[in-house]
Amino acid sequence: MNQNRVLVVDDEPDIRQLIGDILLDEGHQVETADSVAAARLALPAFKPDLVLLDVWLPDGDGVALLQEWQEQGGLGAPVVMISGHGTIETAVSALKLGAYDFLEKPVSLAKLLATVQRGFEHAALKRENQGLRARVAPPPPIGGSTAMQILRTQLERAAHVDAPLLIRGETGTGKEALARYVHGHGPRAAAPFVHFAAATMAGERGIGALFGRDTAHGEEAGAIAQAANGTLYVDDVAHLDATTQARLASAIAARQYVPEGGQKPRPFLARVVASSTRPLEHDLQAGTLREDLYFQLNVLTVHVPALRERPEDIAALLGAHLEQTAVRDSLPPRTLHPAALERLRRHAWPGNLRELRNLVQRLLIIGGDGEIDLDEVEAALGIIAPNPAKPAGDFLLDLSLPLRDARDRFERTYLMRQLKHCRGSVSRLAQISGMERTHLYRKLKDLGVDPKALDASE
């Protein structure tokens, strides 16, 4: 029998008992919790392979707890919502936040077992796919320019040493992809690559997420422990707060760290690769970046050129992304007319590779078949009219507005227009805009944009 671990979170004792007994009879290990607080405590000690989570709990909201887990990087296990009468809509909305499925009370025995089994199979398939991706080394960065030839040489050398690496470059230049390339071509390739986003982690939350926590129920692994024998990628390192900087600098120097709330040091087994979108020397002079951390990370440094600095690479990049995106999204393949290609060579690309990828997605998803002409490229690039007095379609950029109001107006117009092109599909809008779907739903709600209403109006 399978010895999978299932955490059942429900405030009704009869339901916890019933589900627990059924799953135990099937040979699974079961742990139960009757509240949000109890679920938080059970997770690090029990390490479930699947979670059954009630929507309404006495001390909080199961959907909010799911969102909290997702913002912390996910559980690595499927979450199945349990929904009572009148909460079906809430449970369905949880699917958009990453829940695997939902069960309606009273819980059907057949559906419970089928859903749990599918959840285990889904998790196993996901782990298998992750393992396959880990074994396939990332491709080298594209481009034949002198700058890219130098960068590839530097990255290949950096892959075979174990010193900290600092990757500098503007926003959107693909620094994380380059960090993964270094990881995938070095001796640590079979071990984990862990992304720690410094900009979203501050204070105690950031320290716990990076160093982990020792609790009464066991150790809660942080990013350093998760990246053991692999690579810890600290994205935008200058955003770390002063306390976290001090602890990280000390940990790198000593090659050991102490989890939050702990006493015993753990070995620091990960290689550190950090990135920065701005000159760290300015932060050093301003006193917002610790000198010891700066010098520890600045052992090996590579600079990623912006796209405007290597226009000779634009054709190869566009060709590769047009082909890859068409295959990945099952879209008709398309090529660029020479005039359209020349226009894109002359484009400034302020968003760098991220902007190029998003443009390619727009051209393939919204456009038709056949060759991409100059007019189509101009339309895709011309989101805001260059003349503030001249409307772009139904949008007029009023430069007299406060920045926040102008940004909100632009975002609302942009998202509404793209939704119309996507016929109300938020999934396609997420691809076009380059936004993570959960953040996109939140943005649409904040701006008062209803995808269903737009879809119905078509």
Do 200 and 234 share a domain, yes or no? yes
Give the residue with greater pLDDT, 325 vs 435. Answer: 325
- End residue of a domain, out of 381, 399, 430: 381
Position 64 confidence tier, pLDDT thresholds 50, 70, 90: confident
Amino acid letter for position 160: H
Among candidate residues 379, 378, 396, the one with its CA nearest the CA of residue 387: 396
CATH code, domain carrying 158:
3.40.50.300
- Mean pLDDT, rounded, of the chain: 84
**Domain containing residue 45: CATH number:** 3.40.50.2300
- Domain match, 161 and 279 both: yes
Same domain, 170 and 285: yes
pLDDT: which is higher, 401 or 50:
50
Residues 312 and 300 in one domain: no
**Measured CA angle at 224 (ends 220, 228), to 5 deg:** 100
Mean pLDDT of 70-85: 79
Read off the DSSP letter of residue 380.
H
Burial letters for 15-48: b for 16+ Cβ neighbours within 10 Å, e otherwise? bbebbbebbeebebebbbbbbbebbbbbbbebeb
Is 152 in the same domain as 285? Answer: yes
Between CA 309 and CA 350 the distance in angstroms is 11
Q: Are residues 268 and 363 in the same domain?
A: no
Residue pLDDT, tens place only, 280-293:
998 898 888 999 99
Q: Do 29 and 14 share a structural domain?
A: yes
Where is 439: in which H helix or E strand? helix 437-446
Does residue 19 lie in a domain region?
yes
Domain holding 367, by residue range, is 308-381
The torsion angles phi and psi of 368, rounded to 5 degrees, stand at -95, -145
Residues with Cβ within 8 Å of 293's Cβ and at least 6 positions away in sequence, in order, are: 237, 240, 245, 246, 248, 249, 252
Does 427 reside within a domain? yes
* pLDDT band for position 399 (cuts 50, 70, 90): low
Domain presence at residue 140? no
In this structure, the answer to whether residues 279 and 360 fall within a common structural domain is no
- Check pLDDT > 70 for residue 170: yes
Give the pLDDT score at 392: 44
Give pLDDT, residue 95: 79
9-59 pLDDT per residue, tens: 999 999 999 999 999 988 899 999 999 999 999 888 888 999 999 988 999
Average pLDDT estimate for 356-363? 90
Mean pLDDT across 145-154: 95
- Tell me which amino acid residue 131 is: G
In a shared domain, residues 14 and 124: yes
Distance CA 338, CA 315 (A): 10
| The pLDDT value given to residue 29 | 93
One domain for residues 333 and 376:
yes
Specify if 139 maps to a domain: no
CA distance 350 to 277: 13
Beta-bridged to residue 168, according to DSSP, are: 276, 303
pLDDT at 54 (0 to 100): 92
Positive or negative, the Cα torsion across 264, 267, 273, 279? positive
The last residue of a domain, from among 356, 381, 406: 381
Which domain-ending residue is among 381, 401, 423?
A: 381
User: In this predicted structure, what is the pLDDT of residue 1?
Assistant: 44
- The pTM of this model reads 0.58
Looking at the structure, tell me whether residues 319 and 216 fall in a common domain.
Answer: no
The tens digit of pLDDT for each residue in 105-124 reads 888 888 899 999 999 988 88
Pairing between β-strand 231-235 and β-strand 193-197 as defined by DSSP bridges? parallel
pLDDT at 386 over 60: no
pLDDT at residue 411, rounded to an integer: 82
Query: Are residue 229 and residue 154 in the same domain, yes or no?
Result: yes
Tens digit of pLDDT for each residue in 247-302? 999 999 999 999 988 888 899 999 999 999 988 998 898 888 999 999 999 999 99
| pLDDT band at 456; cut points 50, 70, 90 | very low
CATH number assigned to the domain comprising residue 318: 1.10.8.60
pLDDT for the residue 428? 79
The residue-averaged pLDDT of 160-167 equals: 94
- Angstrom distance (rounded) from CA 76 to CA 106: 27
31-45, 75-89, 125-139, 203-217: least confident range:
125-139
Q: What is the pLDDT of residues 178-226, one digit of tens each?
A: 999 999 999 998 889 999 988 777 667 788 889 998 877 667 888 999 9
Q: What is the pLDDT of residue 387?
A: 40
Q: 390 pLDDT exceeds 80? A: no
Whole-number pLDDT of residue 248? 94
Question: 173-177, 279-283, 366-370 — which is least confidently predicted?
Answer: 366-370
Residue range 436-445: mean pLDDT, rounded = 77
pLDDT of 446 higher than 70: yes
Please check whether residue 141 lies inside any domain of the structure.
no
Residue at 391 is within a domain: yes
Q: How many domains does the chain have?
A: 4
pLDDT over 70 (residue 140): yes
| Residues 308, 170 contacting (CB under 8 angstroms) | no
